[in-house]
Amino acid sequence: MADISAEIMHELEQAQAQFSADELQGPSMELVAVVGPAVVSGTAGSGTAQYLLVDHDPASAARRLWAYVANVWHYRDVTNVDEQGIAQVAYAANRVDVYWDANGQITLVRCWKMF
């Protein structure tokens, strides 16, 4: 597993801090792309995720999928069932492509397993 640089972790922490714990009290299916503290929107796109992780708060129903694509952290709130599927499919994949719309909202996560 590749080491994650301190700069990447700092960007994730900034993105996480932008959203309060109250906002994470349940999956809202609201999607946002973030760069540091700023919200990015206006251009649809796609790219291969460099990093993929799930925030899981055991004290609530909050689960958030994060994908780092082209120096931008994208996220989507997911359900418990989605989280289980992510663990089985995305983390077993060799490549994960992420797609978002003009509002910066993740619309599709495509997982590739190449043998």
Say how many CA atoms lie within 13 Å of 101 toward its Cβ: 7
Stated pTM of the model: 0.67
Q: How far apart are CA 56 and CA 88, in angstroms?
A: 16
**Of 31, 28, 83, nearest in space to 53 by CA:** 83
Q: How far apart are CA 44 and CA 59, in angstroms?
A: 34
All structural domains of the chain with their residue ranges: 6-112
Alpha-carbon dihedral angle through residues 53, 15, 27, 70, given to the nearest 10 degrees: -50
Provide, rounded to the nearest whole percent, the portion of the chain with pLDDT above 70.
Answer: 75
Residues 41-87: tens digit of each pLDDT? 568 889 999 998 888 888 888 888 888 898 888 888 888 888 888 87
Per-residue pLDDT for 26 more than 70? no
Per-residue pLDDT for 27 more than 80? no
